[in-house]
Structure formats: structure tokens, C-alpha cells
Amino acid sequence: MPLGVSAALDASGALDVGETIGSLTVAGTPDEAALSAWREVARECAGYGCRLTCRDDLGDAHDLRTADLSELAGEPLRVTLEIEQSAHTIRVATSQGLRRALSAVDASPNVSEIRLLGLGVPIPTLGVNIVPWQPSDGDAVPRSASPFPSPRRFARTIAGDSRAPAEIGSWLLNGEGDREDQPYLVWRAFAADAIRRSLVSEIYDVDSTTRIVLAGSPTRRLDLGDGDETVASFAGLQEAARWLFVEGRDVELRHTLLAGELAREWRDEQPLAAGLPGRLHVALESAGLAYRAHVQQSSRETIKSLSDLRKTLAEEIGKVTQQTRDLSSGLWRDVAVAIVTVAFRLSMDATKTTATPVYSIVLLLVATYIAVSQTVTVKSSRAFLKVAADARAQWRHKGYAYLSDAEFDALAGKPLTDARVIYDRVERSANWIAGLVASGLVVFAAWEAGVLTAAWRALSAFPCG
């Protein structure tokens, strides 16, 4: 930005100064001192990406860099400075330009800074910051997505163009706000109006007047009105907006409670802006008490729900434990049958019996019984555990949807997973043992039938080498 703009504006104090975003206009009959100041701006413009034009009342252009200023002095002129803008920054030179920039915040979601010429102390917010416009400064970084819910979700427009702000961060100070400089007062007026619109239930236009609705018992319909903020009243608006939109979840509930308390406090038709300073503090305290009572009630319900979850979890783990025990006990029962069969055969007096294939058949039948019994037990246990897992998935989403996945896993998922790991280990061990016992019985049956002896003799008949 040309360094001489501030001096040129000062020298043009008696002229009509107007500014829109991207264009600063000075109209009137400037004296030679004012024209000389604007000449310096014209000479600096090329290096700053700006463009300055000067036209008389006939529309003829004059190059201030080379024109005879004494001839132009006292003539009706219009000096226009076109200010280059960037993607994430709005640059303005006057308080009027600042008002235009603040009005465009909602329509410019990528803008993160408003740079004001001559601003002494920045105005930091939780959204778009207002900072000094320095010579040859670059573009700002893009504005990140607001972490706070949009007030338009709760303060709905039902007719007309009046509405709550699209985001609340740009109207909440990031720090202290007890200041009296002109740019801050301009921003404060915009912020106060934006917050007031965020507190109501509905907004609508009728006969060129903005009206609002406070839903409560009874519901109030009031004019929005214009405010004359003081430091104290603006601090109250900031406190209310932070409580509503910044301090955690349940924004819709807090908004409903505050709107209802404001409706209860209103006893006349006083406009919202005029009546808020005397009513907001009491309504905010009452809404806070109601919200804390709701949280305590919710906490009691949550504690009961978590107690039910622990009980259900204990039952689920008990079911997995019982399946593990059934698998283990069934295995040892089958092993006992195999041991009894083998022991009975070995205890018989071989001198009193004749070898028959009956014992081989008995051994094979016992081996088959063990294999089938183990297979049926494992498959039924797995089917039961799958049914239980499907049921858990249903009651997890229906009964405990308020818990995040991480919280539910910590409370229930991990214990159940650990129990299933233990079952899987026991199942693998049981399968190995059952397989070894069944295989041993098959080998014993082959020996009993003489198959192994015959095979050994057949192999011995082959000549070595």
C-alpha cells in the first residue's frame, strides 16, 4: 500500500471520502495541498499493485503525476484509488471500508484477515483477525474451518434477508476488549449485532423491520432494534456467546434454555437490543442452572447405563468362560474314554484270548468318536460365540451409542477380546490333544490287527543296497 495514503486522507479531510472493498474514492474540490498528497500516492501506486485515477466533473481524466496542480486546485474532482485484494485478505483504508469488510465476512469464507491502514493495535478474534496494513505485505493464510457450530443452525431465518452470522468466531475476542479506538468500536458494534442475532430462536423481516422470536413460555416476538453497547454490556454478550457456542457440546440444548429464559424475563415490547443489557445476565444464570441440572440428571442415567454395561459384560465373559470350560471338560472326557479302552485291552490276559479284529474295530470306533465329538463341540461353540458377538453389535449401537468406539472398546471390547483369545488358545490345544489321541488309537488299532507287523515284514523282504 502506498505510504502516502494516510497523509492524503488527512489532507482531504473536508472532502467526501467513500470506500468499498477494492476502491477508495475522494470527491469534492481539493486544494493544492491535498492534490500534492495524492500526487505522491499516484507515484507510489505502480510499485504496490494499485491504480489511481483523477477525473473532473466532465469525466476527463488527469494524470496527477504530471498535471499542473495549481490549475486543478479548486475544481470539482473525483480521485479513485483501486486497491488490490488477495484471496485470503481484505485491505481497507478507512473505517467506512472496515464496515464494508465486516459486512462481507460471512460471504468470504476463505478470508482470514482484514488489514486496516493506520490501525494501531490488532483486534484478534477466534475467526477473522483485524490487523494493521503494512507496506508490501503478502497474502494471509487461508481461514481454517470453524470448530464452533454455526449460529444459523439454531437462530433460523423464516422470512426476509435478515439472518444470524454464518460463524461465531469472528465476533468473539481472543483476549481482552476494553478499548475505545475507532476501529475497535466499529468492530464491536458489528460483533454485538451478530451475537444478538445468534441468541434468538427465529429472525424475520416485516415492513422493513427486523423482528425476532424468543421461544419460551410465553413466546416473545420483538423488534431486533439497534444497540448502544458499553464495555459491560458487550462483555455480557461475549460471555453468553462463549457459553453457547464454545464451551463443549449440547449447543442446541443450551441455546433453547437461554432463549426460553430470555422470553421469561421479557415483560414488555422493548426491542431486543435495548432490553438485553438489563436481562441477559439473569437469563444466563438461570439457563446455566437448568443446564447443570440436566447434566447431573444425564450423569445419573449414564452411571446406571454403565452399571448395566458392566453387568452385561460380566455375563458375556461368563458365557465365553463357560464355553471354554465345556470344551476342556469334553476333551478330558473323551481322553478318559480312550485311556479306559486302551487300559482294558492291555490288562487282558493274552494267554486266555485269541487275537481277533474285534479290538481293532473297537479302537477305531473310539478314535472316530473322539474326532467327531471334538469337531461337533468346536463348531457349536464357535456358532454360539458368533451369535453372542452379533447380539453385542446390536446392543452396542442401540443401548450405548453415546459412547465413542474408543470408549466402548476400553470398557467392553478389550475384556471380551481377551476372553476370546483365551478361548482360542484352549481350542487350539484341545484340537491338538484330540488329534494326537485319535491318531494314537488308529496306530494302536493297526498294531492290534497285525497291519504294522505285516508291513514291517514286507519292508524287510526288500534286499538292502
What is the per-residue pLDDT across 77-109, written as a single tens digit (0 to 9) for each?
A: 999 988 888 889 998 888 889 999 999 998 888
Return the higher-pLDDT residue of 260 and 433.
Answer: 260
Spatial separation of the C-alpha atoms in residues 367 and 162, rounded to whole Å: 85
**Who's near 278: CB < 8 A, 6+ residues apart?**
none
Spatial separation of the C-alpha atoms in residues 441 and 359, rounded to whole Å: 11
- Indicate the pairing of strand 23-28 with strand 77-82: antiparallel
User: What pLDDT was estimated at residue 46?
Assistant: 65
Largest separation between any pair of C-alpha atoms in the chain: 147
Spatial separation of the C-alpha atoms in residues 431 and 375, rounded to whole Å: 9
Per the CB < 8 A criterion, the answer to whether 95 and 186 are in contact is: yes
Spatial separation of the C-alpha atoms in residues 224 and 236, rounded to whole Å: 17
Spatial separation of the C-alpha atoms in residues 234 and 242, rounded to whole Å: 12
Distance of alpha carbon 283 from the chain centroid: 29
Three-class DSSP category at 104:
coil
pTM for this model (two decimals): 0.64
User: What pLDDT was estimated at residue 114?
Assistant: 92
Tell me how crowded residue 254 is: count the other CB atoms within 10 A of its CB. 22
User: What pLDDT was estimated at residue 463?
Assistant: 61
User: What pLDDT was estimated at residue 108?
Assistant: 87
User: What pLDDT was estimated at residue 412?
Assistant: 65
User: What pLDDT was estimated at residue 128?
Assistant: 92
User: What pLDDT was estimated at residue 194?
Assistant: 94
**Cell reading at 376:** 461337533
Tell me how crowded residue 434 is: count the other CB atoms within 10 A of its CB. 23
Spatial separation of the C-alpha atoms in residues 38 and 50, rounded to whole Å: 13
pLDDT above 60 (res 361): yes
Beta bridge partners of 52: 81
Residue matched to cell numbers 467506512: 96
User: What pLDDT was estimated at residue 298?
Assistant: 58
Enumerate the domain spans of the chain. Answer: 5-84, 90-270, 305-461
Helices 358-399 and 272-347 pack at an angle, to 10 degrees, of: 170
What is the overall mean pLDDT for the chain? 81
Q: Positive or negative, the Cα torsion across 223, 227, 233, 234?
A: positive
Per the CB < 8 A criterion, the answer to whether 203 and 211 are in contact is: yes
Residue matched to cell numbers 465345556: 326
Taking residues 321-329, report their average pLDDT.
Answer: 75
**Who's near 91: CB < 8 A, 6+ residues apart?**
1, 83, 84, 85, 115, 117, 133
Confidence of residue 352 (pLDDT cuts 50, 70, 90): very low
Per the CB < 8 A criterion, the answer to whether 349 and 299 are in contact is: no
pLDDT above 60 (res 42): yes
Spatial separation of the C-alpha atoms in residues 155 and 262, rounded to whole Å: 14
Residue matched to cell numbers 421479557: 266
**Who's near 229: CB < 8 A, 6+ residues apart?**
188, 189, 192, 237
Spatial separation of the C-alpha atoms in residues 11 and 337, rounded to whole Å: 112
Taking residues 410-420, report their average pLDDT.
Answer: 72
Residue matched to cell numbers 461465531: 168
Report pLDDT digits (tens) over 187-229. Answer: 999 999 999 999 999 999 988 899 989 988 888 899 998 877 7
Q: Positive or negative, the Cα torsion across 194, 199, 204, 205?
A: negative
Give the lowest-confidence range in 100-114, 285-299, 368-382.
285-299
Per the CB < 8 A criterion, the answer to whether 391 and 308 are in contact is: no
Query: Phi and psi at residue 19, in whole multiples of 5°?
Result: -145, 135
User: What pLDDT was estimated at residue 27?
Assistant: 92
Query: Phi and psi at residue 211, in whole multiples of 5°?
Result: -115, 155
Confidence of residue 351 (pLDDT cuts 50, 70, 90): very low
Give the lowest-confidence range in 78-82, 235-239, 289-293, 396-400.
396-400
Taking residues 27-34, report their average pLDDT.
Answer: 90
The 51-56 sheet, strands edge to edge: 16-20, 23-28, 77-82, 51-56
Please state, for a pLDDT cut of 70, what percent of the chain lies above it: 82
**Who's near 287: CB < 8 A, 6+ residues apart?**
254, 257, 258, 260, 261
